């Protein structure tokens, strides 16, 4: 079969899909993968034909500096440490839609010229769902985060009391997307609401999904899809006898937080902890002052390799990072930067798999105390062991490929 993948150009959305692509290619299928040029090398490494579409999401964010517990007034939901203001998000959406207006007709023409048997699309990718509808092809949604149905909505995990301007921005975004779709001949189109796809691949285990037992057979909870990464490499801790804390706020521009990283250095400087700290590509090591000898600091680490050894993961709790921590049974010390990460942090706390750092009044002493307490918590360790088994047994890329093949090989019911 020829299968098209259309993915949001962001690491947290691309990374889970590439092992699925590699598995489908290994089984003899042909895959065309559309995303930004940033991921061309990774797409080729997975064995797919690359089709450039969209601009890397991280490159479209403005320069943003956040501080621990120091959100600017009106810029964040309650309890969020400095998320992007609604006006900034509106500007980002305008840019995304303008790019989509330019590129969607070309994407549609390329797919029409080499018609795939199905379209697998990231659930947040506007072009993917629209292309499947326009071409009348089987639609397969790829969900890097929670699924929704009549029993659960993502809004239930969002912070309570979101500012009025954020709710207004959400409604405005939905209207702009619907207007764009209508201009492409798709009336009554909704990216954010409406019926699910014919097949839904969810990259979390059913046990982590709220109301997981209420989802029907069109939802396959395959857990994280881990595989080799182009930028990965070997990594070993300096000592096997000292606890290791891994600190990373992910790959989005919101990780531009030198004050937070300085606080972490202060927290662990005179402690028995080994520290691996990823500061991203917007913070310079020179901004952080003296680096203690127990700290390995880099723009990025081979995350899976570090998590194999970590005792605690101080994380923004993006879903990819959350699933990878659970795969390796590493307790999460959450410092979420965005509402969806806050939702993950709340879920981690609800299931007693970690703890959340406070958004207000954060200090070096509190970080150290929280990490040490989490490392010694026997209940969290027991829960992590059980969840790790669920994550590892969910099937990952093999289960996802099985579901796609089964769906596409089953005759459609008569109209």
Least confident span in 72-81, 157-166, 198-207, 241-250? 72-81
Half-sphere exposure (Cβ direction) of 8: Cα atoms closer than 13 Å: 20
**75 domain-assigned:** yes
**10 domain-assigned:** yes
Cβ burial of 179 (10 Å; 0-12, 13-18, 19+) is: exposed
- 99 and 156 share one domain: yes
pLDDT per position as a tens digit, 89-138: 566 667 777 777 778 889 999 999 999 999 999 988 888 888 999 999 99
- 348 and 383 share one domain: yes
What's the confidence (pLDDT) of residue 198? 93
- 24 and 118 share one domain: yes
Give the 3-state secondary structure of residue 27. coil
Residue 315: other Cβ atoms inside 10 A: 28
pLDDT band at 74 (very low <50, low <70, confident <90, very high): very low
- 98 and 212 share one domain: yes
What's the confidence (pLDDT) of residue 127? 85
CA 96/CA 98 separation, integer angstroms: 5
Is residue 402 scored above 80 in pLDDT? yes
Domain of 100, CATH number, reads 3.40.50.2000
- 29 and 70 share one domain: yes
Quote the domain boundaries for residue 286. 244-393
CA 303/CA 324 separation, integer angstroms: 9
- 347 and 264 share one domain: yes
- 203 and 327 share one domain: no
Give the 3-state secondary structure of residue 385. helix
Q: Cα–chain-centroid distance for residue 11? A: 7
pLDDT band at 80 (very low <50, low <70, confident <90, very high): low
Give the 3-state secondary structure of residue 50. strand
**239 domain-assigned:** no
Angle of helix 339-350 relative to helix 319-327, nearest 10 degrees, comes to 30
What's the confidence (pLDDT) of residue 175? 78
What's the confidence (pLDDT) of residue 67? 64
What's the confidence (pLDDT) of residue 184? 79
- 317 and 201 share one domain: no
**123 domain-assigned:** yes
Is residue 354 scored above 70 in pLDDT? yes
pLDDT per position as a tens digit, 182-205: 887 887 777 656 678 999 999 999
CA 280/CA 140 separation, integer angstroms: 33
CA 207/CA 174 separation, integer angstroms: 30
More confident residue, 172 or 39: 39
What's the confidence (pLDDT) of residue 167? 63
- 192 and 311 share one domain: no
CA 149/CA 152 separation, integer angstroms: 5
More confident residue, 172 or 292: 292
- 207 and 264 share one domain: no
For the chain, what is the mean pLDDT? 87
What's the confidence (pLDDT) of residue 71? 44
- 200 and 248 share one domain: no
**237 domain-assigned:** no
Handedness of CA 329, 330, 332, 338 (dihedral sign): negative
Q: How many helices (DSSP H) and strands (DSSP E) are in the chain? A: 13, 13
* Local structure of residue 152 (DSSP, 8 states): B
Half-sphere exposure (Cβ direction) of 255: Cα atoms closer than 13 Å: 23
Is residue 410 scored above 80 in pLDDT? yes
Rounded to an integer, the average pLDDT of 320-324 is 96
What's the confidence (pLDDT) of residue 117? 97
What's the confidence (pLDDT) of residue 72? 38
Candidates 297, 290, 292, 253; CA nearest to 276 is 297
| % residues pLDDT > 90 (the chain) | 63
- 192 and 130 share one domain: yes
pLDDT per position as a tens digit, 139-179: 999 999 999 999 988 766 666 655 566 667 667 777 777 88
CA 83/CA 238 separation, integer angstroms: 35
For the chain, what is the domain count?
2
What's the confidence (pLDDT) of residue 213? 96
**229 domain-assigned:** no
Q: Which helix (H) or strand (E) holds 383?
A: helix 378-393
More confident residue, 83 or 40: 40
CA 195/CA 181 separation, integer angstroms: 16
């Amino acid at each position: 079969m020829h299968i098209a993948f259309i993915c949001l150009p962001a690491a947290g959305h691309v990374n889970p899909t590439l092992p699925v692509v590699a598995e489908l290619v290994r089984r003899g299928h042909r895959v065309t993968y559309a995303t930004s040029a940033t991921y061309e090398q990774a797409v080729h490494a997975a064995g797919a034909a690359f089709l450039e579409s969209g601009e890397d999401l991280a490159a479209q964010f403005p320069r943003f500096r956040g501080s621990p517990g120091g959100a600017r007034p009106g810029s964040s939901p309650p309890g969020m440490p400095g998320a992007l203001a609604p006006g900034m998000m509106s500007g980002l959406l305008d840019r995304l839609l303008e790019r989509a207006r330019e590129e969607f007709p070309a994407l549609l023409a390329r797919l029409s010229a080499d018609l795939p048997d199905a379209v697998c699309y990231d659930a947040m990718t506007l072009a993917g769902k629209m292309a499947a509808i326009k071409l009348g092809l089987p639609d397969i949604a790829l969900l890097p985060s929670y699924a929704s149905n009549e029993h659960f909505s993502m809004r239930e995990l969002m912070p309570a009391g979101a500012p009025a301007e954020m709710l207004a921005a959400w409604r405005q975004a939905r209207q702009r997307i619907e207007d764009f779709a209508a201009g492409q001949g798709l009336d009554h189109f909704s990216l954010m609401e409406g019926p699910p796809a014919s097949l839904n691949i969810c990259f979390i285990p059913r046990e982590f999904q709220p109301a997981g037992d209420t989802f029907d057979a069109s939802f396959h909870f395959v857990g994280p899809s881990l595989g080799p990464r182009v930028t990965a490499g070997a990594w070993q801790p300096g000592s096997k006898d000292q606890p290791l804390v891994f600190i990373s706020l992910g790959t989005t521009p919101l990780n531009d937080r030198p004050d937070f990283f300085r606080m972490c250095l202060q927290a662990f400087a005179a402690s028995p902890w080994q520290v691996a700290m990823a500061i991203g590509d917007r913070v310079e090591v020179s901004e952080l002052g003296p680096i203690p000898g127990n700290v390995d600091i880099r723009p990025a680490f081979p995350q899976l390799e570090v998590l194999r050894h970590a005792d605690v993961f101080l994380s923004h709790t993006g879903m990819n990072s959350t699933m990878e921590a659970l795969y390796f049974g590493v307790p999460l010390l959450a410092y979420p930067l965005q509402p969806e990460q806050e939702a993950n942090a709340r879920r981690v706390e609800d299931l007693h798999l970690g703890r959340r750092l406070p958004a207000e009044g954060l200090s070096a002493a509190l970080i150290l105390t929280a990490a040490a307490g989490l490392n010694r918590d026997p209940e969290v360790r027991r829960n992590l062991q059980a969840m790790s088994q669920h994550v590892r047994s969910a099937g990952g890329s093999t289960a996802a490929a099985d579901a796609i093949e089964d769906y596409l090989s089953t005759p459609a019911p008569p109209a």
